[in-house]
Amino acid sequence: MSRPIPIASPFQRLAALLDGETPGLSPIDMTIGEPRHKVPDFVGPVLAGALADFGRYPPIRGTNAFRSAVADWLDRRYGLQTPIDRETGVLPLNGSREGLFFAAIEAVKRRGAVGGRTLVLLPNPFYQVYAAAAEAAGAEAVLLPAGPDTGFLPDLAAVEPALLERTAALFFASPANPQGAVASLDGWVGLIGLARRHGFMLFADECYSEIWRGAPPPGVLEAADRMGDGYGAVVSFNSLSKRSNLPGLRCGFAAGDADFLAGWAAFRNVAAPQVPLPVQAVAVAAFADEAHVVENRRLYDLKFAAAEARLGPLFGAVTPPGGFFLWLDVARFGGGEAVAARLWREAGVKSLPGAYLAADTGPAGGNPGADYLRLAMVEAPDRTDAALARITGVLTR
Ligand SMILES: Cc1ncc(COP(=O)(O)O)c(C=O)c1O
């Protein structure tokens, strides 16, 4: 189950795969999870009004206004009975990625000696920073299968208690990237119980929490709140990148376990990037506004409807409950790498082989992403539909 994980950008691996190949049509990029919907109207005026604050170093714990805006939003979004503490329950992040990275270092330090190598658990497939974080923290990364057999989420019941006793942190994404699977409230409750019993941190990567179909995904803080014993052992990571189409703003937050956040803030204060004050001002406006988020979901709904119409006849239902990726099993078309190369050569569609988002699990297990292709539905609806039509054309030729 555990072995060193090669850390490489999926996009660099794709560049190598497509090196020397010419796109068959004008390119449409479906690789990067970068929302191309409109930047919300309020961003420009808020930034303009706060320009002078680029002249100040921002405090690592963020402004009172930032922490309050995030806590207000979390309380509303998850109907929390125990409000998130406005002083100690929230930290700003320079995007959730850096937070996920630095958090593992703090978790491993807090865990102390465990009688063997300290472990960090991650799903497979996974967002690459989890593995990089485990490596930087000097921990051993343990891959937990997250394929069709387990509903595309890791099954912690399959992990031996002895391993959990050596675990410093579990990275768990819901909605998951790349599969779009969503943890249930009971699922989160089970994970929190496990984390508390075995003394590890549950790092919930929830940056896709606002991109959903049907019902909003339950959150880890919501589950902790229902359990009624505070937010210990739990940190939720989220950001404006996906929710508010602001991946370039680099603004996110960590919220939850106040004790963990306090120790981590001391470390971050000498090691981590701060969030510029004008950027925090944008976040205050963004978390107070849901209209642009509702509009986003409407656009994603249109695109997933197009995906059902175009790809449904070939693949069956393709729409996941959360996130904005399609995760297609293309085994019968030759697997992810072969299909990605073909779509580029024949149709100018750039897609990501699933293998680049997962690690080999050894000779018996192979790579759990190898049969899959990830398509980011981030372009405008008409352009996305054009890409889907090209894909169907190639796969039915
Ligand atoms: C699963 C997952 N987590 C975290 C991130 C980091 O996003 P950001 O740093 O922009 O908040 C991404 C970005 O694509 C992601 O897919």
Q: What is the pLDDT of residue 150?
A: 95
pLDDT tens, residue by residue, 279-294: 999 999 999 999 999 9
pLDDT tens, residue by residue, 116-147: 999 999 999 999 999 999 999 999 999 999 99
Beta strand 349-350 with 28-29: parallel, antiparallel or unpaired? Answer: parallel
What is the DSSP code string of 362-378?
A: -TTT--TTTTEEEEE--
Closest among 294, 289, 229, 249 to 93, alpha carbons compared? 249
Section 213-226 average pLDDT: 98
Q: What is the pLDDT of residue 3?
A: 57
| pLDDT for residue 314 is more than 90 | yes
Section 66-76 average pLDDT: 98
Closest among 377, 368, 375, 247 to 301, alpha carbons compared? 377
| pLDDT for residue 5 is more than 90 | no
CA of 99 to the centre of ligand 1 (A): 10
Q: Is 227 exposed, middle or buried (0-12, 13-18, 19+ CB in 10 A)?
A: middle
Whether 33 lines ligand 1, by a CB cut-off of 6 Å, is yes
Of all atoms in ligand 1, which is nearest to the CA of residue 251?
11
Name the residue of 30, 172, 207, 242 to mutate for ligand 1: max ligand atoms within 8 A of Cβ: 207
| pLDDT for residue 9 is more than 70 | yes
pLDDT-based confidence at 363, cuts 50/70/90? Answer: low
Report yes or no: 242 and 68 within 8 Å, Cβ to Cβ.
no
What is the DSSP code string of 305-325?
A: HHHHHHHHHHHS----SBSSE
pLDDT tens, residue by residue, 176-196: 999 999 999 999 999 999 999
| pLDDT for residue 245 is more than 50 | yes
CA of 177 to the centre of ligand 1 (A): 9
pLDDT tens, residue by residue, 247-276: 999 999 999 999 999 999 999 999 999 999
6: Cα separation from own chain's centroid: 20
Superfamily for the 10-38+292-395 domain: Aspartate Aminotransferase, domain 1 (3.90.1150.10)
Tell me where in the chain the CATH 3.40.640.10 domain(s) lie: 43-287
CA of 96 to the centre of ligand 1 (A): 6
Q: Is 308 exposed, middle or buried (0-12, 13-18, 19+ CB in 10 A)?
A: middle
Give the tokens for residue 326: 């399609």
DSSP reduced 3-state for 159: coil
Report yes or no: 248 and 210 within 8 Å, Cβ to Cβ.
no
Report yes or no: 21 and 378 within 8 Å, Cβ to Cβ.
no
64: Cα separation from own chain's centroid: 26
| pLDDT for residue 315 is more than 70 | yes
Closest among 121, 92, 87 to 259, alpha carbons compared? 87
To the question of domain 43-287 being in CATH 3.40.50.620, the answer is no
pLDDT tens, residue by residue, 323-343: 999 999 999 999 999 999 999
Of all atoms in ligand 1, which is nearest to the CA of residue 250?
10
Q: What is the pLDDT of residue 1?
A: 46
Section 225-247 average pLDDT: 98
Whether 241 lines ligand 1, by a CB cut-off of 6 Å, is yes
pTM (global) more than 0.85: yes
Report yes or no: 84 and 74 within 8 Å, Cβ to Cβ.
yes
DSSP one-letter code for 107: H
